[in-house]
Structure 1
Amino acid sequence: MKILKDILYKVSIEAVKGSTDIAINSIDFDSRKISLNDVFVAIRGSVSDGHNFIEKAVNQGATAIVCEEFPEKIINGVTYIQVKNTNEALAFLANNFYDNPSTKLRLVGITGTNGKTTVASLLYQLFKKAGYKVGLLSTVKILVDNKEFKATHTTPDSLTINFYLNEMVNEGCEFCFMEVSSHGIDQKRTEALHFEGGVFTNLSHDHLDYHNSFAEYRDVKKAFFDDLPKTAFALTNVDDKNGNVMFQNTKARKLTYALKSYADYKAQILESQLTGLLLKINDNEVWVKLIGNFNAYNMLAIFGVAIELGMDKLEALRLLSELESVAGRFQFIISKSKITAIVDYAHTPDALENVLQTISEIRTKNEQLITVVGCGGDRDKTKRPIMAEVASRLSDKAILTSDNPRTEIPELIIEDMEKGVEPQNFKKTVSIVDRKQAIKTACVMANENDIILIAGKGHENYQEINGVRHDFDDLKIVTELLTQLNK
């Protein structure tokens, strides 16, 4: 049991009704999970408002309520705490409840549009190979050293973050690498955490269904660096025009990485093949198993973080060469008839263009490049025509299909995409609503040595239609189809 006044440390309180000198059992923002002596935090969400469930939480045993406005009905024996922002309050409450776990390990946050999962996951892999106990908070999964847990958000809620950080501390982890999304920053999920370092990968068109403009999206990312302490490091990609923007108000030590610009961590691509890259990093040659320019940037970010966290330079380079690609990030198989099928999470125009350009650099041009791509429902509609434009322009054939339609009508999503196809690319573009059928069509079209790119879902092993998740794994499906077609 904790004392309420102790877990309120650093919470910006506007008013209190009742005593804060009471024992509490747990904290939650889901009224359904509240039980005797719990604290209920009323969060205003996009779908529902937690303030509407205060009475329910009290009836289930909550002895303290944290809210932005007091309810009309005040119950004797229950403490009500008014704050300006319950998301921010939750972050401090969670941090205090779990005894500040982020101060007990070395936490590095990775933010940007593309590359977050790869950089965070491969940093975990690299430090594990170096013999450390390590934690990971990512889109793909949560790892507490060797224990794996399912991830539901890129950046989980504050309670979940602090719960797992505490588990990492208890497991003896020395490091944790964490994806930091714009939603997570905006909703104060990372507030109160102590970061030893922050990494900026890049910024491109994404999440404009949530943020009002690209400038707002950029400034939310920047806010993460604004809040880093002066004891931390800030490592940014200065080949991206927004790289230096992240530095503007940070108190952290400023470090840079780049392929084209002068930087603290600099790389040159000497060779690029389907089997990997030969890089020169700060005048040291290293072969890595990952592919493409975008992965050269990822490798640089990983190398920079490793050095800033005290790893020996030669040891870091050696371990870079051992890293294996992340699930759903440029994963490929080569079939019996030498058809290469690539599965990638590319779900933004910039990421899709990067992957297609990477394929173009390593292909002979004597083969077809067939791209299967869709766009998610209930998400940023403005990127749909751009995704189709990129796919149809940079592929020999493009198949527009469903991604996760969610609650939208798949045909209407595809219609939005089709608006971006330029007239000269009409003949090489086809629309097939059923994703499995679209992948099968690509497999039927493909001949010996051709390349199929299946983009958008990557590591996801489901397809969400009308709120229901169905088993769907792009890599598994394309492998089975090519086998069935005897290709």
Structure 2
Amino acid sequence: MAEGAPATPSNRLHVLPNSTLNNSASLSALLAAVPVRSQHGPADAAVTSLTLDSRLAGPGAVFFALRGTATDGHQFISKALEQGVAVVVVEDLPAELHPGTTYVQVPDSAEAMARMAAEFYGHPSRQLQLVGVTGTNGKTTCATMLHKLFRELGYHCGLLSTVQNQIDEEVIPSTHTTPDAIRLNELLARMLQAGCTHVFMEVSSHAVVQHRITGLHFAGGIFTNLTHDHLDYHGTFDAYLKAKKGFFDQLPKSAFALTNQDDKRGPVMLQNVAGRRETYSLRNAATFRGRLIENAVHGLHLEVDGREVQFRLIGVFNAYNLLAIYGAAVLLGEEPTEVLTVLSGLTSAPGRFEPVVSPKNRITGIVDYAHTPDALENVLQTIADIRQPSQQVIAVVGCGGNRDGAKRPVMARLAVQLSDRAVLTSDNPRFEDPNDILAQMQAGVPTENQGKVLTIADRREAIKTAVALAQPGDIVLVAGKGHETYQEIKGVKTDFDDKQVLTEMFGLLGK
């Protein structure tokens, strides 16, 4: 299908065959776009698989020795050799070279892996309308709803998101916001083989820095917003900003770059971009202009480019998401009125302002992934906008372990200031002591708000307590985990679903 072309009968949904990928390539072909410092061993090995896991290496495989934050893949070269690996890609050559194995020394193993993976799978992104969404908040909602929208418009579509990956309706579990470059290209190849024309994916800042998206061809990029997050990894806010900007800097001339004009970092994303520069806004002049008419419990009433539309999503932050989705669809060649008609009937991604209502006491539970100060403030402000004067808001909030600690006191302060009662609890403590995390959160609670706060390390008990505190008609927000169905403690993941626990606690009311 031509780039930007609307759907026609020839590319509408049809029955697809089941098939598998069988790839092989010569080493010389895979290295064509890779800067090579030196090469040792057989010059043109036959390659049948790629891996960054030495346990999965074998005859015909290329093993990539990647330097990570916790481990260095160079330590596992000997294990890969024991597995009979054909080629090893390294940044530093080992002291002894194994006879019969080809060693390729490169400046950056991650970049080499991405470029070789794209070549190995036949550059599937070049044959797809691939749209990436980046920003602190809104990535999952935008990518998921674009996938839903284009499915409704009649296209075969792929989705790569934090919640799950999808090929049309086939669900593939997701372990990262953006998969590693090998897995990513494999999924794109599967999507192409299944007849997909469009793919919508979240692009994390980690993915940009770690070269997971290097070598991909994007039809467009969307920027949602930028707030405090991931400083545990990037170190500084400027480095975080630079990582996001790095995605837009990679966009080709044929792509569109769509940015939030109302976010002060939005215009930064468009600086020196090769592609078409487009904007969306609720407050300023922009390519795609929206006006908020009403934000109510039943949804948003917006004027979008002169058309009044009622949407099922709630909150000003979702008004921005809807504008981004609409703008991207129009830039991909879809008819504006049809886009708005379909979009008005769609719901958001799982765990994004997802309501759960108690049938007995009319208590409304809201499950949301808000795990940054900005996201938590947005959700609580949205609840404040739609609540009735008689309704009290009880917020259950936690912060993850082994992550940026600077946001912990900020999130606790927001929780107590924007709700009637706050229950501070665990999120995914990982390898940190939950009580240490809670102490850091508690430090952010102003003295005058101390009486509004309870601290309960056990998340199930925290949700149970919040529900017990609620009166008929009140609102209970459970923030931080959203779609996640596990809790990670001391390296062990156990089943834990906020929505399920909330529903269970509602079922106990009145018993």
TM range (shorter): over 0.9
In structure 1, the partner of 2:439 is: 415
Counterparts of residues 194-205 of structure 1 (less than 5 Å): 194-205=217-228
For residue 411 of structure 2, give the secondary structure of its aligned residue in structure 1.
Answer: helix
Counterparts of residues 260-339 of structure 1 (less than 5 Å): 260-335=283-358, 336-339=360-363
Please report how far the alpha carbon of residue 263 of structure 1 lies from its aligned counterpart in structure 2 after TM superposition.
0.7
Distance (whole Å) between structure 2 residues aligned to residue 122 and residue 193 of structure 1:
22
Cα deviation, 1:92-123, whole Å, max 9, x if unaligned, reads: 01101100010011000000000000000000
Amino acid at match of 1:59: E
Amino acid at match of 1:239: D
Q: Is the 8 A contact 2:63 2:85 kept in 1?
A: yes
Please report how far the alpha carbon of residue 230 of structure 1 lies from its aligned counterpart in structure 2 after TM superposition.
0.8
Amino acid at match of 1:91: A
In structure 2, the partner of 1:455 is: 479
TM-score if structure 2 supplies the norm length? 0.94
In structure 2, the partner of 1:373 is: 397
1:355 has 2:379 as partner: yes
Q: 2:490 aligns with which of 455, 466, 486?
A: 466
Amino acid at match of 1:344: D
Please report how far the alpha carbon of residue 271 of structure 1 lies from its aligned counterpart in structure 2 after TM superposition.
1.3
Q: Is the 8 A contact 1:225 1:249 kept in 2?
A: no
1:125 has 2:148 as partner: yes
Amino acid at match of 2:376: L
- RMSD of aligned residue pairs (Cα, Å): 0.8
Cα deviation, 1:149-201, whole Å, max 9, x if unaligned, reads: 00000011000100000000000000000000000001010000000100000
In structure 2, the partner of 1:405 is: 429
Distance (whole Å) between structure 2 residues aligned to residue 456 and residue 75 of structure 1:
49
Distance (whole Å) between structure 1 residues aligned to residue 384 and residue 202 of structure 2:
29
Distance (whole Å) between structure 2 residues aligned to residue 24 and residue 306 of structure 1:
39
Q: Is the 8 A contact 1:142 1:148 kept in 2?
A: yes
Q: Is the 8 A contact 1:157 1:189 kept in 2?
A: yes
For residue 97 of structure 2, give the secondary structure of its aligned residue in structure 1.
Answer: coil
Please report how far the alpha carbon of residue 136 of structure 1 lies from its aligned counterpart in structure 2 after TM superposition.
0.3
Distance (whole Å) between structure 1 residues aligned to residue 461 and residue 79 of structure 2:
47
Cα deviation, 1:290-314, whole Å, max 9, x if unaligned, reads: 0000000000000000000000111
Please report how far the alpha carbon of residue 232 of structure 1 lies from its aligned counterpart in structure 2 after TM superposition.
0.4
For residue 142 of structure 2, give the secondary structure of its aligned residue in structure 1.
Answer: helix
Distance (whole Å) between structure 2 residues aligned to residue 269 and residue 327 of structure 1:
24
Please report how far the alpha carbon of residue 317 of structure 1 lies from its aligned counterpart in structure 2 after TM superposition.
0.7
Cα deviation, 1:253-275, whole Å, max 9, x if unaligned, reads: 00000111111111111111112
Q: Is the 8 A contact 2:58 2:86 kept in 1?
A: no
Q: 2:415 aligns with which of 384, 391, 409?
A: 391
Amino acid at match of 1:405: P
Count the aligned residue pairs: 487
Please report how far the alpha carbon of residue 19 of structure 1 lies from its aligned counterpart in structure 2 after TM superposition.
2.8
Q: Is the 8 A contact 2:482 2:498 kept in 1?
A: yes
Distance (whole Å) between structure 2 residues aligned to residue 9 and residue 278 of structure 1:
52
Q: Is the 8 A contact 1:203 1:242 kept in 2?
A: yes
Please report how far the alpha carbon of residue 486 of structure 1 lies from its aligned counterpart in structure 2 after TM superposition.
2.6
Counterparts of residues 55-74 of structure 1 (less than 5 Å): 55-74=78-97
Distance (whole Å) between structure 1 residues aligned to residue 29 and residue 167 of structure 2:
27
TM-score if structure 1 supplies the norm length? 0.99
Q: 2:113 aligns with which of 90, 94, 99?
A: 90
Counterparts of residues 111-150 of structure 1 (less than 5 Å): 111-150=134-173
Cα deviation, 1:68-98, whole Å, max 9, x if unaligned, reads: 0110011121111100000100000110110
For residue 465 of structure 2, give the secondary structure of its aligned residue in structure 1.
Answer: helix
Q: Is the 8 A contact 1:236 1:255 kept in 2?
A: yes
Of the structure 1 ranges 173-182 and 43-52, higher mean CA displacement relative to structure 2 is found in 43-52
